[in-house]
Amino acid sequence: MEIRFLGRADYAPTFQAMKDFIAQPAPDQREQLWICEHPPVFTLGLAGRPEHVLAPGGIPVVPTDRGGQVTYHGPGQVVAYPLIDLRRRGIFVKEYVHRLEEAVLRTLARFGVTGHRVGGAPGIYVRLDDPFSHAVLAQRPRQHVPGAPAPQPDFGGLGKIAALGIKVSQHRGYHGVALNVAMDLEPFARINPCGYPGLQTVDLSTIGVPVTWDEAARELAAQLGRLLAIQGTP
């Protein structure tokens, strides 16, 4: 898989370029991984509800065809877009999401940070009181009782450090995952991140990890390259 570092790229043309790339027959181009950061932009997923955009101000709001609700992209955030053929790689969608999250978890671990999954809420989270603790979260994923509503995610004591949203068309995946490195986090207060009022968002800088954008970008790219190259369960 070819890895392309795009630098800072406007969101709308990047979104269109992804769709154009995916629309071409798979043999015409190699699969690629795009790594970039975007100027400030709010993006709405297919399930996005406008009321979760509280006060966008001068930041544009762009509807997209990825899954999920609303999120924010801005300078200091590493955005990774794998443009791959899931069927050719023998990866189902649920496994694909797991691998994207696992790449973030392994990237954070390289910088001494322990990331966590939260049941029912894709993305990666860290403890606000001790991002370096390896202790199991008190709110372990609760079992879904058949016939009962799905348990609501429990974000107690956690901050979100990476968001995930994908689209699969004709077995080809695009969109991807965003890791917060050293951002202006204020725009997250203008939305309900991922549709959850009050969900706190953090980055590596605010939890005391002085990593550069380039260091985080290259580590995340390497982890994605490894995990997405593996057939079956990694």
- pLDDT of residue 157 exceeding 70, the answer is yes
For the residues 52-62, what does the mean pLDDT come to?
93
Q: How far apart (Å, rounded) are the C-alpha atoms in residues 173 and 194? A: 20
Residue range 155-167: average pLDDT?
93
Buried-state track 187-198, b at ≥16 Cβ within 10 A, e below 16:
bbebbbbbbbee
Q: Catalytic residue among 194, 211, 221, 228, which? A: 194
Q: Give the pLDDT score at 68.
A: 84
Rg (CA), the chain: 17
pTM score? 0.92
* Positive/negative CA dihedral, 122, 67, 174, 172: positive
The CA angle 230-89-166, to the nearest 5 degrees, is 100
Measured CA to CA, the distance from residue 162 to residue 156 in angstroms comes to 17
DSSP classification of residue 63 = E
List pLDDT tens digits, range 115-142: 999 888 899 999 999 999 998 888 766 6
pLDDT of res. 46: 85
Tell me, what's the pLDDT at 27? 55
Nearest to 107 by CA among 225, 230, 193, 16: 225
Confidence at 26, pLDDT banded by 50, 70, 90: low
User: Does residue 233 have a pLDDT over 70?
Assistant: no
Tell me the pLDDT of the chain averaged across its residues. 90
36 catalytic residue (yes or no)? no
All structural domains of the chain, each given as residue ranges with its CATH number in brackets, are: 2-143+155-229 (3.30.930.10)
